[in-house]
Amino acid sequence: EDVRARAKKVMDTLRLEVGGPEFDPHVTVVGAIRLSPEDALGKFKSACKGVKAYTAHGKGISAYGKGISTGTFLYKCVFLLLEPTPEVVGTNDHCCAHFGYNRTSTYMPHMSLLYVDLTEEEKK
């Protein structure tokens, strides 16, 4: 089964259980930034020219669910950590440079599974 389809099933199951918006599986490579739609599209197209497809791996994935983490705000509520391989981090560096984005912390590659405000108890 396709990884995207499997991820979407997990995301849909979580969302149906606790709520939250529906969104497609993705890995964020640039943080929040204000740009006009035209400027964002131009920078996106330019950045894509220098990025090659690569394989990303979940960090610490096991039959016991390791690799799944929770965060303290909406967009990192429940997520799958990814291994920070040179390809993954390099893509982040490349895209940040194209978008003029200055990170304020170390890049933490992840795929969000759920966007919703939950208590720590609900996240378990």
State the distance between the two ends of the chain, measured CA to CA, in whole angstroms. 27
| Number of structural domains in the chain | 1
The pLDDT assigned to 22 comes to 96
CATH label of the domain that carries residue 101: 3.90.1140.10
Task: Return the C-alpha torsion angle 94, 57, 115, 34, nearest 10.
Answer: 0
Active-site residue numbers? Answer: 26, 110
The pLDDT assigned to 124 comes to 72
* pTM as predicted: 0.82
1: confidence class by pLDDT, cuts 50, 70, 90? low
What domain range is 74 assigned to?
3-123
Q: 11-67, pLDDT tens digit by residue? A: 999 999 999 999 999 998 998 899 999 999 999 999 999 899 988 888 765 544 457
Quick check: 92 and 29 in contact, CB under 8 A?
yes
